[in-house]
Structure 1
Amino acid sequence: MKRIIFILIGLLTVSFSSAQELETLIEEALLNNPEIQKFELQYNIASEKVNEVNTLPNTEIGVGYFVSEPETRTGAQRFKVSAKQMLPWFGNITARENYISSLADAKYEDIVIAKRKLLASVCQSYYNLYANRAKQAVLTENIKLLDTYETLALTSVEVGKASAVDVLRLQMRQNELSQLKQVLEQQYLAEQTNLNKLLNRDKNVVVDIMNEMNIPLEEVEITSENLSLHPELLKYDKLYQSVEKSELLNQKESSPMVGFGLDYINVEKRPDMNFNDNGKDIIMPMVSLSIPIFNRKYKSQTKQNELQQQEITAQKQQRLNTLETLLDKAINDKISARISYTTQAKNLKQAKDAEEILIKSYETGTIDFNDVLDIQELQLKFQINQIESVKTYYLQNTIINYLTK
């Protein structure tokens, strides 16, 4: 769990209260998410298989009855009982246990990967909810602003300084923003359901979202050194080791097997004779040796293991290249989000300055409501873009933490 805690610290880069809420959601997801439970059960099954292979071959027991009793000097043989136990060569069972344990170790990395992905999914869903809520707040603010402009327009119509068309255009713009807000409300419910299901709880549970999130003033240095220790790559290392264990097992299985047995033959006494060994039963200990003379199977398995190791090495390199590409893209997108955020902040300030100029123009009786709508539309655009920049920043930060923490 230490590794998970480190990831949490990296992911929770927002304000303290938001971090507390997000950390609570993540902890609940780790406890309740069924996919995590699925991988944990798969790991437990793989671990239990160690006990399955720690066994000897079945003991062979046979019983035979002589239909035609063979006569011997000491009497007629009536029935035969035999028992035989084959034993693998020294170290065979240990090699089998080591191989199964190595497969279980590789399965464990699936749990770590699934937890990392779950953390990222919870954070991404949380940030999507924040962006949606922030957009709704912006739309509400702009609808109220348009309502104020509508009042000004109605007053101007009364004094002949504006036309009814200006009022209608303002009302249509209000209707459009109301529609956008209603759509966002439905999208919010869908995203809230997604987050609740990641936590394996009722979809209608209300998620507490921060009202405001900002991009930090200073950036944390990002290093790709830890990328080589990513569990997706460590899994390939463990798969490679499992193939090595498989080859050791293959070598052991190509060794002979030794068998020990015992035959018991019941002999009936001869009624017409009297001597010391009359009717004496036969007990015959046996030792057998199973030698794999035709060992092409094991040579083929060795070749397959070599090829499989080459395949795993190639897969690991390909995945490393993909992760490096994802990391570079996330870093660049994060930088772009910061640039966009700064630009939108400047544009938003200028739009507000233009709005103030228009309001002053109303006082002099020269307001143009077409300009009002244009400025309002620009202002809304800048606000939405700024929210998107914040969301993009934290989404990319989540990807970076998934790859490097």
Structure 2
Amino acid sequence: MKELFKNIKEVLFVGSSSVFTLRSISLFAFSFSLLTVHLSNAQQLESLLEEALSNNPEIQKYELQYRIASEKVNEVDVLPNTEFGVGYFVSEPETRTGAQRFKLSARQMVPWFGGITAREQYVSSLADAKYEDIVIAKRKLMASVSQSYYKLYANKKKRVVLDENIALLKTYETLALNAVEVGKASAVAILRLQMRQNELEQLKQVLEQQYLAEQTRFNKLLNRDKGIEVDVVDALEIPIDDQEIHSDNLVLHPELLKYDKLYKSVEQSELLNQKESSPMIGFGLDYINVEKRPGMDFNDNGKDILMPMLSVSIPIFNKKYKSKTKQNALQQQEIHSQKQERLNILETLLDDAVKGRMSARISHETQTKNLRQAKDAEAILVRSYETGTIDFNDVLDVQELQLKFEMNQIESVKDFYIQSTIINYLTQ
């Protein structure tokens, strides 16, 4: 019996799902290399984020929109069109110096002092607001890439755990076969172990399909072929100390700064409205061709007429400018309300993320404790094989609990880092 138990222990050690030695060594090595893992993960994820920021078409879209908005400054930095006119006298009016044949005229209207500058500042303020769209989109992209990366990690880690548990079930199946041979177990135990293996194989295949779907989403965020394999870190652990949260930075978030710039653009719109309600000055020049009077000789005979002109355009009916002023005032109130609404939403998101990260830490600690106890129970069951009292129903129950705790532990790590990306999006 002792020799048989010795063989069983060798099987357990050689198998990839070693209950004692291999798992203990892996846990020690994992803990020892935790700092290095975090560093390599940060470097790898940073390079992926840089690639996403360089290639993502949504970022390129917002950058082009900003360039278009900035170019509009040159569009408005112009005077009104210069007016040219040509007139021919069908019935030539006679003057003392001769008959008028045709008339040429040119006129240029000039906005009131500062009118063009006001237009430039208004369009520039709109471009500044558009720039915040780029900053917001980049932050959201970094959060999306990071969250997708951590989902890929969790999926990969779960499949590794499933492989270990499938190998462990095969080891238990060997124990059950030996027990059946000596009449210490029923063949039903073997069938139950095999059915459990089938369930885990099915779950593994489902996870593989989910991984491919998430991999496609990740690659498309980086604007590359969906089939490119993502190199995900092998292990992640929740750090001992939480990163300091600078909640004061929330008021400087781009989503809120955009409202400030929109508010400023409305102020510039009102300044422009005031300038447009002012008079416009026009400068012009008329040239009239005069034909010489025949049979007469005097100094001004046939002298052409050159007439400089000055005009003023006064908006007497200025109801539209008064209406525009009221609209701007109402729009500023609307922007203020929108900013306050968005601030409330962001504060709620930040509080949810902080609480969610704390919950993930609590869950991870609980699952770690439960997993340790499940392994102790597993060890007791395996040792009971020596006395011939092993109950494979209990083995399956403990194995199922252990798998559940391992899966929950991975999920809590993923949740911790996903909540951290939300916190970083809001406060960094």
Give the alignment's TM-score, normalised by structure 2: 0.90
CA distance in 2, matches of 1:65, 1:182: 89
Map of 1:4 onto structure 2: none
TM-fit CA distance, 1:71: 2.2
Match of 1:117 among 107, 117, 140: 140
Q: Deviations over 1:361-384 (max 9, x none)?
A: 222111111111111110000000
Indicate whether 1:394 and 2:413 are aligned: no
Q: Which residue of 2 aligns with 1:263?
A: 286
State how far apart, in whole Å, the 2-side matches of 1:191 and 1:220 are: 27
Q: Deviations over 1:234-267 (max 9, x none)?
A: 0101111111111111111111000010111111
Matched, 1:190 2:216: no
- Does structure 1 residue 381 correspond to structure 2 residue 397? no
Q: How many residues are treated as equivalent by the alignment? A: 394
In structure 2, the residue matched to 1:237 is 260
Matched residue, 1:273: 296
Q: For the residues of structure 2 that align with 1:262 and 1:140, how far apart are their CA atoms?
A: 91
Asked whether 1:251 is paired with 2:274, we answer: yes
Q: How does 1:132-143 map to 2 (within 5 A)?
A: 132-143=155-166
**Does the CA contact (< 8 Å) of 1:13 and 1:19 recur in 2?**
no
Other-structure match for 2:185: 162
Match runs of 1:71-150 below 5 Å: 71-150=94-173
Out of 175, 191, 196, the residue aligned to residue 173 of structure 1 is 196
**Contact 1:36/1:115 (CA < 8 Å) preserved in 2?**
yes
Task: Letter of the 1:333 partner, please give it.
Answer: G
Distance in structure 1 (CA, Å) of the matches to 2:362 and 2:229: 33
CA shift, 1:13, in A, is: 11
Name which of structure 1's ranges 219-228 and 13-22 shifts more when overlaid on structure 2: 13-22
Amino acid at match of 2:184: K
1:350 is aligned to: 373
Match of 2:312 in 1: 289
Letter in 2 for 1:367: I
How far does the alpha carbon of each residue in 1:317-367 deviate from its partner, in whole angstroms, 9 at most, with x for none?
A: 000000000000000010010000000001001111111111112221111
18, 23, 31: which is aligned to 2:41? 18
SS at match of 1:139: helix
2:77 aligned partner, one-letter code: N
Deviation, structure 1 residue 73 = 2.3
Corresponding residue for residue 20 of structure 2: none
Q: Matches of 2:419 and 2:203 in 1, distance apart?
A: 26
Aligned with residue 175 of structure 2, among 144, 147, 152: 152
Q: What is the SS of the residue equivalent to 1:15?
A: helix
Moved more, 65-74 or 306-315: 65-74
SS at match of 2:284: strand
**Displacement of 1:72 after TM fit?**
2.2
CA distance in 2: counterparts of 1:242 and 1:218, whole angstroms: 43
CA contact (8 A) 1:63 1:80 kept: yes
Alignment partners' CA distance in 2, 1:320 and 1:295: 38
Find the aligned partners of 1:14 and 1:32 in 2 and give their Cα distance: 27
For 1:203-214, list aligned pairs within 5 A. 203-214=226-237
Q: In the aligned structure 2, how far is the partner of 1:289 from the partner of 1:162? A: 109
Structure 1 letter corresponding to 2:370: N
1:121 shift after superposition: 0.8
**Identity rate of aligned residues, in percent?**
78
Given that 1:46 and 1:107 are in contact with CA atoms closer than 8 Å, whether structure 2 keeps it comes out as yes
- Pick from 346, 359, 365: which aligns with 1:336? 359
CA distance in 1 between counterparts of 2:112 and 2:37 reads 61
Aligned to 1:68: 91
Match of 1:313 in 2: 336
Decide which moves more: 46-55 or 278-287: 278-287
For 1:62, give the aligned amino acid.
Answer: G
SS at match of 1:287: strand
Tell me the C-alpha RMSD between the 2 structures.
1.3
Secondary structure, in 3 states, of the residue corresponding to 2:70? helix
Structure 1 SS opposite 2:225: coil
SS where residue 112 of structure 1 aligns?
A: helix
Maintained 8 Å contact 2:37/2:235: no
The alignment's TM-score, normalised by the length of structure 1, stands at 0.95
Task: Report what 1:9 is aligned to.
Answer: none
Partners of 1:79 and 1:229 lie apart in 2 by 66
Please report how far the alpha carbon of residue 125 of structure 1 lies from its aligned counterpart in structure 2 after TM superposition: 0.7
Mark the runs of 5 or more structure 2 residues left unpaired by the alignment.
1-34
Cα deviations across residues 113-151 of structure 1 (Å, max 9, x unaligned)? 111111111110110010000000000000000111111
| 1:285-317 superposed Cα distances (whole Å, 9 cap, x missing partner) | 110000011111111111000000000000000
Superposed, 1:210-229 pairs within 5 Å as 210-229=233-252
How many angstroms apart in 1 are the aligned matches of 2:66 and 2:360? 40
Change (3 A) 1:13 1:107: farther
SS at match of 1:213: coil
2:390 equivalent to 1:367:
yes
Q: Deviations over 1:37-72 (max 9, x none)?
A: 111111111111111110000000011112222222
Give, in whole Å, the separation in 1 of the partners of 2:132 and 2:246.
22
Q: Distance in 1 between matches of 2:424 and 2:208?
A: 30
Q: Which amino acid aligns with 2:120?
A: E
Task: Give the residue type in structure 2 aligned to 1:373.
Answer: L
Give the Cα–Cα distance (whole angstroms) in 2 for the partners of residues 54 and 130 of structure 1.
Answer: 53
1:363 is matched by which residue type in structure 2? E
1:39 and 2:72 aligned: no
**CA offset at residue 14 of structure 1?**
6.8
AA of the residue aligned to 2:161: V
Q: Write the letter of the residue equivalent to 1:98.
A: Q
